[in-house]
Amino acid sequence: VQLQASGGGLVQAGGSLRLSCAASGRTNSNYNMGWFRQAPGKEREFVSYISWNGVTTNYADSVKGRFAVSRDNAKNTVFLQMNSLKPEDTADYYCAAGGTYLRGNYNPPYWGRGTQVTVSS
């Protein structure tokens, strides 16, 4: 499966962005999907997870209450709505597919290219 994230950009603190991740290729089976981010000089970190049917979602503590993940399986697309953005949210954001979130861990096998999000103060 191929993944393509989009929707990144430059936004002021307190603003909003909506990221999209379109899946192509082997999409006859819906995958659990997630978002990760990597800030300059830092390790990649988990942001959010959504199960294949949208029933289960999980978030990193740092984004709870500000970010919301959703999906449209008819369009093979997952979204990340990011509100009340902070400068510390600045990072490259990656979508990923496959695997299952379990006991605080999520290690998906499929990854897309990142989209850059920059939040100015």
Residue 87 neighbours by CB distance under 10 Å: 11
pLDDT of residue 27 exceeding 70, the answer is no
The pLDDT value recorded for residue 104 is 86
**pLDDT tens sequence across 31-65:** 999 999 999 999 999 999 999 999 999 999 999 99
Residue 103 backbone zone (phi > 0: left; psi -120 to 50: alpha; other: beta): left
Q: Which of 33, 4, 8 is nearest to 92 (CA)?
A: 8
